[in-house]
């Protein structure tokens, strides 16, 4: 019904928003007692699915203050009702990340790699490169063997919910995941399936083919491209995206103003400590280190998280560096 009525969802964010607003009492204060009383909350409390036939049309048709506000999406909802974003970013149950969108395969799936990836966009990261690997269903020892072959160390991957402190190999895997995601988007390949580092075949020792994208590209176009060459194209796209964000924000301090992570990632509902089994709680100092390592493997400025003139130049983007320099948006330049 929600689909038929064109109601947004964003991976359950609408539902989580409604629950939070209901349970913390905000809803009651914001929509007025008459409208609040017109909603059959008893059906919700009793688990009666008929509640959905009452609530979803209100949102779809923008009926009343509730329908209007919830129909806006989380970002505009918070603005409309003057709710500070921190109320969401501090609440583990919201799964909210930043700028109106929820997490998408962050620490709940892949520890530091997932968090890094979720910081890199000003919308849902929609990256599955990393999670396709950790969810591939292979035994952990096999995943670690493949990680060693692909990213230089078995320590590049942890068991889900059994995270170890940050290391440079995880940063390399995060970089790989992002670059491949950009490539997939540009090549029309499915990032919900690839990359193909793993194989289900025992005779291949469960090794996939990390160069499939470049092989597909070479076959389809006749233009021979190695894995490394095509990865550089993906990196160029990603860095161009970064440059556009810097230009449009008018600020190159991406680390402090863009690459944000919600504070709920440093919480555990049961009080478990970071790096203990069965928690996705991260450690603030470790995540600071993770971001620095990621900037390092990208060749970016560690202080700001902005690509350096050298990073642009290495990718053939000297003109981009020149334009950003003119706007004093390169690292080290005054804004």
Which positions touch another protein (CB under 8 A)? Answer: 11-12, 105, 108-109, 135, 137, 139-141, 159-162, 202, 272, 277-279
* Minimum gap (Å) between residue 225 Cβ and another protein: 31
177, exposed or middle or buried, with CB in 10 Å at 0-12, 13-18, 19+?
Answer: buried
Helices marked H in the chain — which ranges?
2-5, 13-23, 26-31, 33-37, 41-45, 50-60, 64-70, 74-80, 86-89, 107-119, 129-134, 140-151, 168-187, 212-221, 227-249, 254-257, 284-298, 309-314, 318-326
Question: Whats the size of the chain, residue-wise?
Answer: 335
**Nearest residue (CB) to another protein, 53 versus 192:** 192
User: Least distance to another protein from the beta carbon of 139, Å?
Assistant: 4
Taking the least distance from each CB to another protein, the nearer of 142 and 212 is 142
Min dist CB 75 to another protein, Å, is 21
The torsion angles phi and psi of 153, rounded to 5 degrees, stand at -165, 145
**Angle formed by the axes of helices 168-187 and 107-119, nearest 10°:** 70
What is the C-alpha separation between 268 and 187, in angstroms, rounded? Answer: 39
User: Nearest distance from residue 138's CB to another protein, in Å?
Assistant: 8
Smallest distance, Å, CB 61 to another protein?
Answer: 27
Nearer residue to another protein within complex by CB, 143 or 308: 143
Q: Which is nearer to another protein, 103 or 169 (CB)?
A: 103
Choose between 94 and 279: whose C-beta lies nearer to another protein.
279
Nearest distance in Å: CB 12, another protein: 6
CB of 51 to another protein, least distance (A): 19
Which CB, 141 or 219, lies closer to another protein? Answer: 141
Q: Which helix (H) or strand (E) segment is 269 a member of?
A: none
- DSSP for 247-265 reads HHHT---HHHHTS---GGG
12 vs 332, which CB is nearer to another protein?
A: 12
Task: Output DSSP code: residue 98.
Answer: E
d(CA 20, CA 152): 43
Based on CB atoms, which residue is closest to another protein, 120 or 279? 279
Could you give the C-alpha distances from 247 to 71, 315, 329, in angstroms and in order?
Answer: 31, 18, 7
| Least distance between another protein and beta carbon 97 (Å) | 13
Half-sphere exposure (CA, 13 Å, Cβ side) for 327?
Answer: 16
């Amino acid at each position: 019904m929600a689909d038929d009525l064109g109601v947004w969802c964003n991976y359950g964010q609408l539902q989580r928003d409604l629950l939070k607003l209901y349970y913390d009492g905000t809803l009651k204060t914001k929509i007025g007692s008459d409208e609040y009383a017109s909603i059959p909350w008893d059906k919700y409390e009793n688990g009666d699915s008929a509640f959905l036939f009452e609530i979803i049309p209100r949102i779809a048709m923008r009926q009343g203050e509730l329908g209007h506000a919830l129909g806006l999406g989380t970002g505009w909802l918070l603005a409309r009702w003057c709710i500070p974003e921190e109320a969401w970013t501090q609440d583990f149950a919201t799964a909210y990340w930043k700028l109106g969108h929820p997490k998408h395969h962050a620490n709940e799936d892949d520890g530091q790699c997932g968090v890094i990836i979720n910081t890199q966009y000003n919308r849902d990261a929609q990256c599955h490169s990393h999670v396709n690997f950790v969810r591939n269903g292979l035994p952990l020892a096999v995943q670690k063997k493949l990680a060693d072959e692909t990213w230089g160390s078995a320590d590049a991957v942890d068991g889900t919910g059994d995270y170890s402190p940050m290391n440079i190999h995880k940063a390399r895997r995060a970089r790989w995941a992002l670059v491949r995601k950009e490539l997939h988007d540009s090549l029309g390949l499915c990032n919900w399936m690839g990359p193909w580092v793993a194989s289900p075949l025992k005779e291949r020792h469960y090794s996939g083919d990390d160069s499939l994208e470049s092989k597909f590209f070479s076959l389809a176009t006749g233009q021979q491209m190695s894995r490394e060459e095509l990865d550089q194209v993906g990196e160029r796209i990603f860095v161009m995206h970064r440059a556009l964000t810097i230009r449009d924000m008018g600020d190159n301090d991406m680390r402090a103003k863009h690459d944000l992570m919600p504070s709920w990632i440093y919480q555990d509902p049961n009080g478990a400590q970071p790096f203990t089994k069965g928690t996705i709680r991260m450690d603030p100092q470790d995540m600071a280190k993770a971001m620095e390592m990621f900037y390092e493997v990208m060749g970016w400025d560690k202080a700001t998280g902005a690509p350096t003139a050298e990073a642009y130049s290495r990718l053939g983007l000297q003109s981009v560096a020149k334009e950003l320099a003119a706007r004093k948006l390169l690292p080290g330049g005054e804004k």
